[in-house]
A and B are shown apart, each in its own frame.
Chain A
Amino acid sequence: MSESQTTHTSYYTYAWKQFRSHKPALVSLYVLAVLVVIAILAPVIANEKPLYVRYHGETFYPALSWKKQFVIEGENGKKEIIQPDIAEWKRMSFEKVIWAPIPYSPEKTDRLNSGYKSPQDEQLFMRADGNIVPMPSRFRHIMGTNSLGEDVLSGLIHGTRVSLSIGCISMSIAALLGILLGAAAGYFGDTRLRTTRGRFWSTIFGIAVGWFYGFQVRAFVLRDALSGREGNFLLAIGLSLIILVSCILAFSFLGKWLGKLPVLRTQVHIPVDNIVSRTIEILHAMPTFVLILTVAAIARPSLTNVMIIIGLTSWTGIARLVRAELLRIRGLEYIQAARSLGFGEWEIIFRHALPNAIAPALVSIAFGIASAILTESSLSFLGIGVPSDTVTWGSLVNDGRQQFNAWWLVVFPGIAIFMTVTMYNLIGEAMRDAFDPRQKK
C-alpha cells in the first residue's frame, strides 16, 4: 500500500515536474510573480507623495492615506492645511521625510522637466527655497519624461497594474464563458439535454420576460448609470442580471408543472452544441479587433469596459478546446458509470468530466492573457477605450510616436509589453508541453 503511494504521481504533479524542467518558463513564472508584486505595490513604489513625513512635530503617511487634507497646527498657532493631491510636496521643507523609491506619480506633471526630457538630459529641480538647481540624483527622472513632464518610469510601474489586471480579468470572463459553454456543448451535444416541451417554452418565455423587466424597463436607468460613476453601472447591471436570472428560474420552475400537462409532456432536445458552435462561428466570422474598436469607441472610456469587451470576444478558443475534450470524455466508461449510478448531469460535468478537460483550456488561457495584453496596449496606443488620464504602456508608446526623438518613450514601455507577452507565451508553451502525454520521457 505504502509503496504504491510513493510511486503514484497525479497528472498535475507530473505536469508540474515537466513544467519545471522548462527553464525559461520557470524564470518567466518568477518574473511574473515580481510583476504582480510591483502591480500591487505600485502606489507605494512610485508616488508623488512621500511615504512618511514629519512636519511641525506631527507624523503623516501621505502616500498610504486616503485623507483629502491634513490639518497641521503650525508655529504660533496658525493652522496649515495640506491637500495631498495638489500639494507640491517636493517644495516643502519637512523635519523628516521618506520618499517613495520613485518619487513621481504617473499623471503628475513636472513643469520644470516638460517637453521630452531624456534620461541623460540635464534635468532641473526646484528646491524648497524656490531656487532652481540641477536635478539631485535622488529625484532624477530615470527613464525621462514625456511632453507634459510626466515621469516615464512611474507610468511604467502603474501601467503594470493596468496590463496585468486587463489580462487577468478579461481572461477570467473568457475562461468562465468558454469553459461553461464548451463543456455544455461537448457534454450534451445536440441530443443529450432533454426536457419537456412545457418547460422548454416556459423557460424561453422567461428569458423574454426577464429581458423586458431587467433591461427594457430599466433601459434609461442603465444608460444614466453608464455615464455616471463606474460602480453605479456595475450595480445597475448587476440588478438587471439578477432580475433576468430570477425570471428565468421562476419560469423554468413553472415549466416543471406545465411539463406534466398532456401536450406539453413531449420530450424535446435542446441543440446545445449547435447553438454554441454557431455562436463561435459568428464570432470567428467577425472582424474582432474592429468590433472591439467600435464598441470601445461607443462606450464611455473605462478600463472595466475594455476588460469586458475583450473578455466577451475571446472565449471561443477555450470553448472549442473544452468542447473537443468533453466530446471525447463523455464516451469514456467512468462517465457512463457515473451516469448509471444516478449522478446529476451537471455534477458529472463539474466534478468528473471537467477536471480532466481543463488542461488544454489552461494553455489557451495563458496565450489568451498574452493576446489580451497586446489588444489592450494596441487600443491605448490608438487612444481608444482607456481614459485619457490613465497612463498605460500603450499610451506611453503613443506619446513617443508624436516625437520621434523621444526614444525612451517607445523603447522602455515597448520592452515592458514585449517581456510580459513573451513570458505568458513561454508559460503557455511550457504548459502545453507539460500537459502533452506524448512528450513523456
Chain B
Amino acid sequence: MSRYLLKRIFIFIPTLLVIILLAFIISVKAPGDPLDRMVTAQDGVTDQSSLSWNAQLEKDRWRTKLGLDLPVFYFSITNAATPDTLYRIYDKRLRETSKRLIQAYGNWEEISAYQTSIQELAKQVELTEEELKKYTDTATTLLYRDTVNETFFQVQALKYAYSDATIRSLLQRIRSLSGQHPVMHPIYLAIEQTQSNWTDVVENSQTIKRYIPTIHFYRNNQFHRWVFGDGNWLTAKGAVNTKGIIRGDFGYSYQTKLPVHQVIGDRMRWSLFFSLISVCLAYIISIPLGIRAAAKRNSVFDRTSSVILFVLYSMPTFWVATLLLMGFANPLTIQAFPASGVEPMTGIPEGTSWLQTIAIRIPYLILPTISYTYAQLAFLSRITRVSMLETLSQDYVRTAQAKGLSQFRVIYVHAFRNALLPLITVFSNIFPAAIGGSVILETIFGIPGMGQHIFQAIYSNDYPVIITVFTLTGVLTLVGYLIADILYAIADPRITFSKK
C-alpha cells in the first residue's frame, strides 16, 4: 500500500510541474506590467510619464524583489536577430516595441542605436524643460512651455512606435515643434541623429535573419526562481527574497504587496468552512435519501424524490442564490436574512463570547449554506441511489434476503458498504474545491473567501495569487486521490494496491 502511494506521489510530480508551468505561462503572457500597477497604486500617480524619481526607485526595488529583472524561462527560442540580453529592457512595453522592430527589420545593432538616440532625444527635451524654467513667465514663454510639453509627449510616443509611417510622422512633428523656439535648438541635433538612425534601420534591414531560429539558454530565470527560490535550489542556502514554491513560499501578491500565504490563509478559512459544512450536510441528508429511494424502487417516495432532485440538480447556482436573496433578504418581501457578508457591517463588537459570535453570525450563514449544499445534495443522492440499486440487484444481496435477514440489516450492513465506492470518489473532490471556493457564490453573498479573492485577483492581474491557487489545487487533488485510494481499500478489502 505505502509503496503504491509513494509511486502515485512520484508520478504526480511532473503533472504538478506542468500545472505550475501552465499557470506561469498565463501570467507571463498576460498584458500589462505588474510593476506599474504595484507602484502607481501606492503613490496615487496615474500618469506613467509623470512617475516621480522615488516611484522609479520603488519600482526597481520591487523588480529585484520579485525577480522580474530575470529572463523568463530556462531557454528562449527566438529569431536570429534577437539578442539574448533583450530581457534587460525592463519596461515591458518598450521590450515589446523592440521585439516588433526586430521582427520587422532584423537588425538589432541599428535598432539599438536608434533607440539610444531616442533616449538622448528625450534627455535633451528634459534639459530644455529645465532651461525653460529659468525664464520668467510671460505669455510667450507659457506658450513655449506648452510646445516643450507636447514635444515631450511626442517623444514618449516615439519610444513605443513601431511602424515606419508612425515613426516618420512623429519625427516630422517633433522637428517642426522644435523649430518654434531658440531654447529648443539643442534638440535639433538629437532629432537629426534619430532620423538618420531610423533611416539606417529601414535601409539596412536584414530580412533573412527573422526566419532563422536560435535558442538562448538562461541558467538563472524567473521560473527557476519561482519554483526553487533564489538560493541554492536544493538547500535554499543564500535565499534572500524567496525560497520558492517547493518550500511553500509563494511570493508576494501584486495587489496587496503582502506575502501570498498570508493573504490566502485568511481567506481560506471561509471557503473551507462552507465547503466542509455543505459536504457534511449533503452526505448526511443524501445517503439515507438515496438508500430509501433505492430500497423502495418505483414507490411514490422514489418517484417524487427523483423528480425533485433532478430539478435541483439542473438549477444554476447563481440563479438559486439570487432568488434566495430576492426572496428572503429583500426589504420588499421577507427580510429574514442579511443580504451580504458574514458579519454585521460594524463588525462583531469586542469582548463578545464565542457563543454570542456564533449567534450573531448564523443568520449570515444560512442562505449561503443552502446554496452551497443543494446541488451537491442532489448529485450525491442520485449517485447513492444508482449505486445502491446496482448493489441490491446482486446475488449476494438476494442470498442475504433469502436467509431471512431483516431488510435493515441487508441494506445497511451488507449492501451499503459496496455502494459506498462512488461516494468516495466524490469525497476526494472536496479538497480541491475548498481552495477554489465558489467564485460565484462568494461574489453573490459577499463572503470574504478564496473565490471572491480569486475573482478580484483576476481582475487586478494579481498572478502570484492565481498561480498559487493553481498549485495548491493541484496538490490537493493529489491528496484527494490518495485519501480516496485509502478509503477504497478500507471500504472494500478486495482492493489491494500491491502487485501479486
Q: Which residues of A approach B to under 8 Å, CB–CB?
A: 208-209, 212-213, 216-217, 219-220, 278, 281-282, 284-287, 289-291, 293-295, 297-298, 370, 374, 377-378, 381-382, 384, 394, 397, 400-401, 404-405, 407, 410-411, 414, 417-418, 421-422, 425-426
Is B392 part of the binding interface, using a Cβ–Cβ cutoff of 8 Å?
no
B411, CB-defined interface residue at 8 Å: no
Contact between B326 and A286, CB atoms less than 8 A apart: no
Q: By the criterion CB–CB under 8 Å, are B22 and A294 in contact?
A: no
Q: Mark B407-443, 1 if CB is under 8 A from A, else 0.
A: 0000000000000000000000000100110011001
Given contacts A382-B443, A404-B326, contact A285 B473 (CB under 8 A): yes
A401→B444 contact, CB < 8 A: yes
Min C-beta distance of B133 to chain A, whole Å = 40
Q: 16 A-B contacts, Cβ less than 8 Å apart?
A: A216-B77, A217-B79, A217-B210, A284-B477, A285-B432, A286-B474, A289-B439, A290-B458, A293-B458, A297-B458, A378-B318, A378-B440, A407-B326, A414-B319, A422-B311, A425-B313
In this complex, the member of A286, A297, A377 whose beta carbon has the largest number of chain B beta carbons within 10 angstroms is A286
The answer to whether A286 and B458 have CB atoms under 8 Å apart is no
Partner of B436, one of A289, A370, A401: A289
Known: A287-B473, A290-B436. A374 touches B316 (CB 8 A): yes
The answer on a CB contact under 8 Å between B470 and A287 is: yes
Interface centre among B18, B213, B322 (most CB of A within 10 A): B322
Q: Contact between B322 and A287 (Cβ–Cβ < 8 Å)?
A: no
The answer to whether B454 and A286 have CB atoms under 8 Å apart is no
Count how many pairs of residues, one from A and one from B, have CB atoms less than 8 Å apart in the complex: 125
Query: Top 9 closest A-B pairs, CB basis?
Result: A414-B319, A285-B477, A422-B314, A287-B436, A285-B474, A287-B473, A421-B314, A404-B330, A297-B458
Question: Which residues on B sit within 8 Å (CB–CB) of A394?
Answer: 318
Q: Which residues of B contact A (CB under 8 A)?
A: 14-16, 18-19, 22, 26, 29-31, 77-79, 99-100, 103, 210-211, 213, 310-311, 313-319, 322-323, 325-326, 329-330, 332, 432, 435-436, 439-440, 443-444, 454-455, 458-459, 466, 469-470, 473-474, 477-478
Q: Is the CB of A414 within 8 A of B473?
A: no
- On chain B, the residues within 8 Å of A422 by CB distance are 310-311, 314
Are A293 and B77 closer than 8 Å at their CB atoms?
no
Contact A290:B314 (CB < 8 A) given known A285-B477, A298-B26, A414-B319: no
Q: Kindly provide the distance from the CB of A42 to the nearest chain B CB, expressed in whole angstroms.
A: 22
Given A287-B435, A382-B440, A418-B316, A294 contacting B26 (CB threshold 8 A) = yes
Complex Cα distance, B469 from A24, in Å, reads 41
Q: Are B316 and A414 in contact (CB under 8 A)?
A: yes
Contact B459 A297, beta carbon cutoff 8 Å:
yes
CA distance A401 to B329 in the complex (A): 12
- Which residue on B lies nearest to A425, using beta carbons? B314
Smallest CB gap from B330: residue in A: A404
Contact status A290-B26, CB under 8 Å = no
- Residues of B within 8 Å of A411, CB to CB, are 323
Q: A216-B78, A217-B79, A401-B322 are in contact. List 13 more A-B contacts (CB 8 A).
A: A216-B79, A217-B210, A285-B16, A286-B470, A287-B435, A290-B439, A290-B458, A297-B459, A377-B318, A378-B440, A397-B318, A407-B326, A411-B323
Q: Report yes or no: B455 in contact with A382, Cβ–Cβ below 8 A.
A: yes
User: Which residues on the A side are within 8 Å of B26 (C-beta)?
Assistant: 294-295, 298
Please give me the residue from chain A that is nearest to B390 by CB atom.
A438
B188: shortest Cβ distance to chain A, in Å?
33
Q: Is the CB of A381 within 8 A of B332?
A: no
The 8 Å CB contact of B15, one of A278, A374, A381, A404, is: A278
Contact A410 B323 (CB under 8 A): yes
Residues of A within 8 A of B31 (CB): 298
Q: A285-B19, A297-B458, A410-B326 are in contact. Are A290 and B316 (CB under 8 A)?
A: no
Return chain A residues, CB-CB under 8 Å to B78.
216
A418 to B77, CA, bound (A): 48
Chain A residues lying within 8 Å of B454, measured Cβ to Cβ, are: 290, 293
> Once bound together, how far apart are the Cα atoms of A425 and B29, in whole Å?
37
CB of B430, distance to nearest CB on chain A (Å): 13
| Other-chain contact of B323, A282, A374, A384, A414 (Cβ < 8 Å) | A414
Do A410 and B316 have beta carbons less than 8 Å apart? no
A425 and B382 alpha carbons, distance in the complex (Å): 13
Rounded to whole angstroms, the CA-CA distance of A397 and B323 in the bound complex is: 10
Q: How long is the Cα–Cα vector from A213 to B211 in the complex, in angstroms?
A: 8
